[in-house]
Amino acid sequence: MSVAGTYNCVTHTPMGDQTSTFTVNVDGDSFTGTNAGQMGSMEVENGKVDGNTLTWQMKMTVPMPMTLDCTATIEGDTLTGKVTAGMFGTFPMEGTRG
């Protein structure tokens, strides 16, 4: 099954749970998409697909500019991953295909 799709996600951060809609558009071994939530929409950058594992970056602007390093594994319709926010640490992310 392809990892492409739209996922309803929650990232557990120190500022509380952040819900978002994560869109994955696969093109071979790379992908593009967006992660849109309460803090706005962020474009996927450097999206890579390795089997059912995704790695990507996003540039956050609110509440401060920062590059987020992300990884996720897709199993069926379930996404399990993590978001690393520099010196602020790494936060778990989970979601289901919508």
Q: What is the pLDDT of residues 10-54, one digit of tens each?
A: 999 988 999 999 999 999 999 999 999 988 899 999 999 999 999
Kindly report, residue by residue over 61-91, the tens digit of the pLDDT: 888 899 999 999 999 999 999 999 999 999 9
pTM value surpassing 0.75: yes
What domain count does the chain have? Answer: 1
Query: Using CA atoms, how far apart are residues 37 and 9, in angstroms rounded to an integer?
Result: 9
The H-or-E segment that residue 72 falls in is strand 66-75
Task: List CB contacts of 78: < 8 A, sequence separation 6 or more.
Answer: 94, 95, 96, 97
Structure tokens at 54: 């995704």
Q: Can you give the residue range of the structural domain that contains 69?
A: 5-97
Distance set, CA 60 to CA 31, 50, 52, 64 (Å): 19, 24, 25, 7
Q: What is the CATH number of the domain that holds 70?
A: 2.40.128.20
Distance set, CA 62 to CA 1, 5, 27, 84, 98 (Å): 34, 25, 29, 15, 26
